[in-house]
Amino acid sequence: MKTILKALVASGLAIAALPAAAALNVFACEPEWGALAQELGGDKVSVYSATTALQDPHRIEARPSLIARIRSADLLVCSGSELEIGWIPLLLTQSGNSKIQLGSPGYFEASQYVVKIEIPKVIDRALGDIHAAGNPHIHTDPRNIAKVAQALEDRMAQLDSANADSYRSRGKSFLGRWQTAIGRWEQLAAPLKGVPVVVYHKDFSYFINWVGMREAGSLEPRPGIPPTPSHLAELIDQMKSSPAKVIVYSPYNNPQAAEFLSTRAGIPTVMMPFTVGGTDKAKDLFGLFDDTIGRLLATVK
């Protein structure tokens, strides 16, 4: 009998020593929102990012593995504004998970909490892969990250009221550090003001607006349409009379068009991390902006 009691006590102690299960399972559509959810949730959340910085978020396949993951999610965090229109609706339909459906507390669209830019006046697919609700790549402006953080903190506290104090505390800490970082980044990025830049896709528009750069052209003839020889020829002619200082592209872009224009126009290229994990230094949200600004400053003399 004593042996049995000892075994029960030992097993009880072993169970007590195990880490507590995360209260919230978070399914993040993009790495930036996964990183933000982790900042706010700490050990109270289990975060899964459905995509990486090497994947074009516009063109994700609704794989069975993603369906399996989303079935157990308590909170879905996406950019929204039609960025994931090609895959998230199918995942939601196949998941059978009522907690994260559109309109439920577990459904969270980050772009709904900021002022969006580049909202088209005319909706016509002939104009390219345009987003009717505006540019969805809001995370490239750190001020938008702060706004989303406040809303996401509230949502996490709503869904997991038992740990609301933890989310509030972590949110306050994050926002304090984030606002300090924004001030530092704005000072560092001052030399970039007015610098003309050629983009690959309009995924850096918010960043360009924030630091005061000027978009001087796009490698895509229309949003979502790959660069063509005729369009690149037009850009080369354009650069002769109105040259840019730098050509930027994302890790998921094919660099050939940027390199072609760089060679012909004598303009340097910079691969920007775009999101968390895009470069070795962009390991988190703070590193994302540190490296983005650093790369541009090192190129734009």
Per-residue three-class SS string for the chain: CHHHHHHHHHHHHHHHHCCCCCCEEEEECCHHHHHHHHHHHHHHEEEEECCCCCCCCCCCCCCHHHHHHHCCCCEEEECCCCCCCCCHHHHHHHHCCHHHCCCCCCEEEHHHHCCCCCCCCCCCHHHCCCCCCCCCCHHHCHHHHHHHHHHHHHHHHHHCHHHHHHHHHHHHHHHHHHHHHHHHHHHHCHHHCCCEEEECCCCCHHHHHHHCCEEEEECCCCCCCCCCHHHHHHHHHHHHHCCCCEEEECCCCCCHHHHHHHHHHCCCEEECCCCCCCCCCCCCHHHHHHHHHHHHHHHCC
Q: What is the pLDDT of residues 3-36, one digit of tens each?
A: 444 443 444 443 333 334 568 999 999 999 999 9
pLDDT tens for residues 203-230? 999 999 999 999 999 999 988 889 999 9
pLDDT digits 0-9 by tens, 122-133: 655 555 566 677
Domains of the chain by range and CATH?
Answer: 24-185 (3.40.50.1980), 190-299 (3.40.50.1980)
**pTM of the predicted protein model:** 0.90
Lowest-pLDDT range, 4-13, 72-81, 109-118, 269-278? Answer: 4-13
Residue 57 pLDDT class (50, 70, 90 cuts) = confident
